[in-house]
Amino acid sequence: MTGTLSRYSRSSSLALGALLAGLMLLGVAFAAFFIVFASEENFLEETDTAILAEMRTARTVSDGGHDALDAWFEQSTANNPLGFLYGLKRSENMLPSGNIGGWPEGDIAVVKEGLIRFQYAASPSDEHRAAVARIMTLPDGRFLLVGRDVTSLNRAQWFAQTFGWIMIALFVGFAVACLIVGWYVANRMNRISDTANRIINTGNLSERVQVDSSWDDLSKLSAVLNRLLGELETTMMGVKSVSDSIAHDLRTPLTRLRGDLDRLPESETRDQLLVEVDNILGIFTSLLRITSIETERRKSAFDDVQIGALLADVVEMYEPLAEEKSLSLRLTTAPCTLHGDRDLLFQLFSNLLDNAIKFTHEGGVTIEATATGGSLRISVCDTGPGISPAEREKVLRRFYRVDKSRSQTGNGLGLAMVAAIAELHVATIELAEGKDGSGLCCHLTFERIA
């Protein structure tokens, strides 16, 4: 599960999608703030201040007596440059005067303390409009209403809030879309890399990346990858058929030549020729084996291999050789299984041991297998002359031989075969000097799946 999650979390397209979604959420926060800011209370603050100021004027005037207020009221109602609404009611049952065509009734809401909202119509034929107002009781017991028309303000506030909500909806929609697109791209990328991985692991070049549409760049990439795989497959087939023809065209006559040589009367020349032919045949066999390991990448013979028992068999096989040269041969191993090809692993370690014994003239060879966590490290170390750091990389190539070893038998393919087998088993090879700075150590690290 965590594996699946990390496959998505490490995707750049999904990361970009998430980043954009994050930015969109910032937009949502901004729009929300905007909506709160555009509340009725904030919108009406200015209006309320104006109403309160006008009321203070009215109170001052009313201190001058009943008539003074009447005069002020009449003048204000008639000549009203600031667009205030006024109403004056003598008592509960009397008809009010003023410019609001009556007294607020019915649908009255309290905006905040003392401030009310209501609908009015200046004359019965007019449209109803929205207004806010405050009402005060005058010293003589009458009620004075001072208010303002807020129809356009209300409309502006409605627009602002609606705009805010639309912004939120759009941002949330975009964020979701970004995540979906990111996931979609990551998912398809993962499918492409899964296929590529499977091809690398199984060596089955006939597999293809799935192309599920044809309109976008990813489909184009898939198609190009498929064409590349096709080319690779053809090339590999070519390599295979070339090596097959080498097998047929060169090995068969060589074998026949060897048979003919063998039937000649015994002589020193004949024996020398036989050794030469055997060498050439050996090179062909090794070369074809390496090629087949590298190109076929067959894992059908893979099984759980008891590595301790296998190493013991290799050591047992080479012990007489070490004994002949008075070299010590030590094996330290832990019981441990490895998923691999038993015959090829035997070949790998026997090549390493063969080399180590061949180049060591005193001291000995040690093989050490240590399992740590999910990996298995096997080191083959000798006390021979070692290989200079500059040459370590090269010895894994075909036919490369360190100069001073030219006199030794062998065809320079032993380590190349080791490298090919190690690669098939997804193991890493590291050539280093021994613990005390002399000799050569070959460290192989296998990732254990079992």
Partner 1 sequence: MRILVIEDDTDVVGYIEKGLNELGFTVDTATDGKDGLFLATTETYDAIITDRMLPGVEGLTILNALRASDIQTPVLVLSALSSVEERVKGLKAGADDYLIKPFAFEELAARLEVMIARSKPTGAEQTKLQCFDLEMDLLARKVIRSGRPIELQTREFKLLEYLLRHQGQVVTRTMLLENVWDYNFDPQTNIIDVHISRLRQKISTNGSVQLIETVRGAGYRMQAPS
Q: How far is the CB of 243 from partner 1 (least distance, A)?
A: 10
| Phi, psi angles (nearest 5°) of residue 195 | -60, -45
Residues 277, 279, 282: CA angle, nearest 5 degrees: 110
Return the number of the residue (231 or 276) whose C-beta is nearest partner 1: 276
Q: Which distant-in-sequence residues (6+ apart) come within 8 Å of 381 by Cβ?
A: 356, 365, 366, 367, 368, 434, 435, 439, 440, 441, 442
Return the number of the residue (258 or 377) whose C-beta is nearest partner 1: 258
Q: Which amino acid is at 2?
A: T
Q: How far is the CB of 276 from partner 1 (least distance, A)?
A: 13
429 touches 444 (CB < 8 A): yes
Return the number of the residue (59 or 358) whose C-beta is nearest partner 1: 358
Q: How far is the CB of 281 from partner 1 (least distance, A)?
A: 8
Return the number of the residue (233 or 313) whose C-beta is nearest partner 1: 313
Return the number of the residue (313 or 423) whose C-beta is nearest partner 1: 313
Strand partners, 328: 364
Helix%, strand%, coil% for the chain, nearest 5: 55, 15, 25
Q: How far is the CB of 204 from partner 1 (least distance, A)?
A: 14
Q: How far is the CB of 187 from partner 1 (least distance, A)?
A: 36
- Note the residues at the interface with partner 1 (CB under 8 A): 244, 247-248, 251-252, 254-256, 258-259, 262, 274, 282, 285-286, 288-289, 292, 296, 298, 300-301, 313, 316-318, 320-321, 324, 341-344, 346-347, 350-351, 354-355, 358, 409-410, 414
31 touches 171 (CB < 8 A): yes
Return the number of the residue (300 or 407) whose C-beta is nearest partner 1: 300
Return the number of the residue (77 or 350) whose C-beta is nearest partner 1: 350
Return the number of the residue (161 or 286) whose C-beta is nearest partner 1: 286
Return the number of the residue (146 or 418) whose C-beta is nearest partner 1: 418
Q: How far is the CB of 383 from partner 1 (least distance, A)?
A: 19
DSSP type of residue 94:
S
DSSP type of residue 163:
H
Residues 377, 355, 394: CA angle, nearest 5 degrees: 80
DSSP type of residue 10:
T
Q: How far is the CB of 194 from partner 1 (least distance, A)?
A: 26
- DSSP result, 338-380: EEE-HHHHHHHHHHHHHHHHHH--SSEEEEEEEEETTEEEEEE
Q: Which distant-in-sequence residues (6+ apart) come within 8 Å of 50 by Cβ?
A: 82, 84, 148
Q: How far is the CB of 427 from partner 1 (least distance, A)?
A: 17
Q: How far is the CB of 371 from partner 1 (least distance, A)?
A: 23
Task: Tell me the two tokens of residue 423.
Answer: 């690669």
Return the number of the residue (160 or 257) whose C-beta is nearest partner 1: 257
Distances in whole angstroms, Cα of residue 442 to Cα of each of 2, 154, 392, 429: 35, 84, 10, 7
Q: How far is the CB of 346 from partner 1 (least distance, A)?
A: 5
Q: In what order do the strands lie in the sheet with 143-149?
A: 97-98, 84-89, 143-149, 129-137, 115-120, 109-112
Return the number of the residue (358 or 377) whose C-beta is nearest partner 1: 358
Q: Which amino acid is at 265?
A: P
Euclidean distance between CA atoms 121 and 165, whole angstroms? 32
Q: How far is the CB of 212 from partner 1 (least distance, A)?
A: 34
